[in-house]
Structure 1
């Protein structure tokens, strides 16, 4: 075993040891077990659970980045299952108490061997181990035979493969029931017209005694550069019954790997479809997003479902899309005199007609603020507090609404949606500045407050350092942000120019949502940043159009916006998941 290593830090150090054992060949690399153990004398003080963060690097490339909560065994250990590429790399494991008062870090070189024997999860293994062993294609599953590829017009014939005891098949086109068949062959003749458009066809197979045997979906005239991925959920009859999850990939037969994740945790993996599994109902209720990723044939694709805050959310039909757009001139100033005909919008490569164009200066604005109050912010917090109060007082107009939240170990909502900026400074003055930095969790929880709201909006996140204590990993937070169509304006305070990873993440978060990232060397610079954010929010356009995707689905919809004017920069989300 590795020697005991102690982290010297402002918080109490936590002694750890880490051992890595190769287990077998995975889908893309070698599956390893990472055994983490805290010193025996620490076990009683920590309690039964700890937070962990694990990274695996090869050179300057981070190949693994996972966070979560570990359940300590009686000897103070817990086990992680990961999949890494072969060769030498650097492993970094951080473990902290739930309150962040104790932190330990181990960094060590690891040589990952190439193994020929496939990894098989041991009996009774946890879900993360089971998920690393690729599941075989579901037997007796329902699946569309491969249709012809590319753009489809005119009449298309689709054939469904179904179990022998199938007594009825229901075919749906873009969520509408089109035909019910009660005997094989299970075929559908579909007239698509002369103009190609993206069409989702779904089929349900039912037994003669009324049991759902399975379902599948196929996308016609979809993207020619990406795989189209659909997540089909079927809840159990009882409240505690598992939910059946089917991942449908189009075009069928191209998939080489399909991965299903619940938040940051891999729960299933397949090398070919049919891709069917069951998930505990409680796991879905307590999660935030369900993600399916597929690759094959030189393409990739993913689908995301927001599964909500305690209840499973039905994916809503999305017809009308409101897209926040900022247009800046060469000097970085907002352009405010554009008309609907100046905007050209494409969704998944298809041009759309702009139905209307709103301007935030004519509409009430929704503003969210999430302020880092971790221990490292203590010195700067008085000036940060004043700057936040000044920003709200200067920016808000009658009809605007805002909320104010803080985050350290957890996200706390200080002020729900309201319009009284004078309350902000008073509430912030009562906050204790201490603890870790749960940035990822804060982004998700703050964005949840925008759910169901319409009109111009923006979320400002003020922080001085990288996430250390979130339950949610970076990838899950970024995916969730892409579902909400809310521009995010991260503001980094005293972030070193050498902290490439953190700066890159804040910039990526802004770019993925149509916002802008700012970095200030001292809190005295915040008012100028807030003025710039205020200008963008106040001069934001809301482009409204009808989506050419006539079914809700859950695949990412790529959006391109261009403006018919020389020398301008258009800033908006590069696309969206329609789930919320």
Structure 2
């Protein structure tokens, strides 16, 4: 686009427009508080002042306010690290791509313009390099630069900017029509004609002036806001989380007394285990009451400094039922005058050396605070025996928990497996440490496959041709037959598995005064762990907010302990748990009860969903036995995970564009912020073109640029897509579109059908222009849909896809979630058939035909 396109507005602003612009710009000017902000910034050490200036257009108001409140350099360093982490687009990679790009722009802006406060530098930092940058030298005007962004480089469309340096020195600024044309002139007065006659780059200058003038008052204000927008808002509430980890005392905080004790009971790999205990007198804190339940609730926040650097920070919440606490007679601090104590135990893994330990404890009941800061000398436990704990009573109470640390030197670990799919013959290797291992057993899906009494600890397993999820455990025993270590991995778990495992305590072992809980967490791709909660029986005793998820637990004295439970949460509120039964009688058997979820579509005689039903309208049967409905609800607002499988084989060439458009309309109409969708295209092999997301633009990108070519491998591609669903819970559905029979799959149809049965994903199959003679292909698609609770549609023209997708979307939002606890307690792994009958006539229920326990 030429400069002359923008230069058409060679006129001065009318008086009323200037007045209106004055009002708007006045509203945009910084408040008087800006002076105070600058003053606070100038009081920072030079290193941090420069950093704050460099992120001027990036940092939010809340982030700035918190940074200016920090008093210690190690806190500022930690803030800067978390500041960049919050903006990292791919947190699982070693690089922070956002920070690297921003620092590259910062270096370029500094090299080009010297001062980052220069408005050219700020514009470059936020918007990147302009498409064109013209430096103007004109004897009539102050130094000028004209910048042009076209729509490829700036999301707001084509933009022209004019920067100038008044008086020929100092920082440059962006010209605003309010400044007037004369502000650009050296002698204080100029006209469009003068610029046109006397400046060699007059076209560029006049184009920028005309563009900005023609935008109008509101348009200029909007453009300024867009140009100075924050580059990337941070994900989540990281500022609030950072504040929560502060060990500073709140202003005016009321204090309570407590005793901090530190010991070194063992080692973890190459590090020493530092075990701290804060003994809190019950008399110094207050309980909280909710209904009939009364408890003491405290949060411990800790920091470990190595020199002037924050080496580690941690936060743990402790919960104590009041009736248990007030019955205690022991005194952790060894001074009976204090009465009952609350033991707040924590562990960190540190290398030998000198550290500064800061501990703050907040009592949620009273608001009072305890804080202590001390230097600790952490020994190297591979060179000298561990020093005893500071307090004998603490050692007595934690003896069982610390015994687990010593046992922890005996370990078994499954070696990482190659590839994402594990099929056929697979070699499994296990690595061990310690001298207490007599034999190692390999257990696949609760069946012991092999036990070996001498290394190498390995086995070859036949996992079959289809990538089924399989649970592999490796268990190490000592000479007395006691389990001393174990590890487990879910084979073929996929990228979305969310699981938690209690490594300690050991199942069935007896514990009297304490135990050590150790938790492993696996999270879905791109997710993190928000917290891990630990329970003894039904009582929550601790909440861990960061790894390692290890916690010594002091057990109640008079209450029998039946089980320990760990619950892990992701930031979006999803949770998963694991249980370990302890102190159980020897003849106790664990019974695996199946809790079955059914997503049921009910169709009337017109084949439209019926959405006014009640539990008594349904009868559930499993292998012919009636089941009792435990939960019943409409699923109109429950999240959906949906995949569109799009055939892009050569026969789809003339229909592909319409199929792409129909799929995009489905996403636009169906995907809400709570839903996730994905795109899998296939010809002679599957291709994941868009991962699960609620971003319709990303899904559109997955549908774009497709070429119809090669043959069709429907069953291979279906297994691939079902595998991609592994680990995802709730409503899951596949919309499979193909116009032909399978020509090149490695897996037969029967394997795909069996895999679909195990996956529990609803399949809607759409056959496009299948000839009536292709009866076998139609039967296969029909059976796939019927077995999984979906439907099969056969259409002649791709134009019918829109109405089919609308029908599917209506059914997905009109289903019923029905759950029941299976009455079948058999340990057999055979397929269990499910039948849903309607008590009202004329209705048809569609759901999965059964499941594998």
Give the shorter-chain TM-score range: 0.3 to 0.5
Which has the bigger relative contact order, CA under 8 A and spacing at least 6? 1
Greater fraction of residues in strand: 1
Greater fraction of residues in helix: 2
Q: What is the TM-score when the length of structure 2 is the normalising length?
A: 0.33
